[in-house]
């Protein structure tokens, strides 16, 4: 069975600082990988996804993530944090041959941005 681990349930950065949110997965074969963001009192929105090809994936709002097969990781980064980035971020995986195409989510990381 797949699992997703997000290191750090809360991360605090200063405005303008680098954002790094960590995600590691366990899967027998490289899965599809996703980052979703949840703003307060809203549903989840897709930030970016990795399916195949280039391992550095760019998403919305200046975020990007790099798939590292050897490290089974898919960490999310942004060079310079904005106050509007404060939200909860979820890493998720899905098996490539999963007929139901269900996502398995990590526990989430709440990002706080200090002025």
Rule CB under 8 A: choose which of 13, 19, 34, 78 binds another protein: 34
The answer to whether 105 contacts another protein (rule: CB under 8 A) is: yes
Structure tokens at 65: 């993530």
Place of tokens 């897709």: 46
Stretch that binds another protein, among 53-61, 67-75, 78-86, 97-105 (CB under 8 A): 97-105
CA distance 12 to 8: 10
Pairing of β 10-14 and β 19-21: unpaired
Torsion of CA 105, 107, 111, 112, to 10 degrees: 150
**Interface pattern 36-75 for another protein (x via CB under 8 A):** -----xxxxxx--x-x------------------------
**What sign does the CA torsion over 6, 7, 9, 11 have?**
negative
Toward another protein, which CB reaches closer, 32 or 64?
32
Structure tokens at 13: 């950065």
The answer to whether 23 contacts another protein (rule: CB under 8 A) is: no
Binding site for another protein (CB under 8 A): 4, 6, 9, 32, 34, 41-46, 49, 51, 90, 94, 98, 100-108
């Amino acid at each position: 069975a797949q699992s997703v681990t997000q290191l750090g349930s809360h991360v605090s950065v200063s405005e303008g600082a680098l954002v790094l949110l960590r995600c590691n997965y366990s899967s027998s074969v490289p899965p599809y990988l996703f980052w979703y963001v949840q703003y307060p009192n809203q549903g989840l929105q897709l930030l970016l996804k990795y399916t195949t090809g280039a391992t550095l994936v760019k998403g919305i709002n200046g975020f990007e993530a790099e798939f590292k097969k050897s490290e089974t990781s898919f960490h999310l980064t942004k060079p310079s944090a904005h106050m509007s980035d404060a939200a909860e971020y979820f890493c998720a995986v899905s098996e490539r041959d999963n007929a139901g195409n269900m996502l398995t989510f990590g526990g989430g990381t709440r990002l706080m941005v200090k002025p």
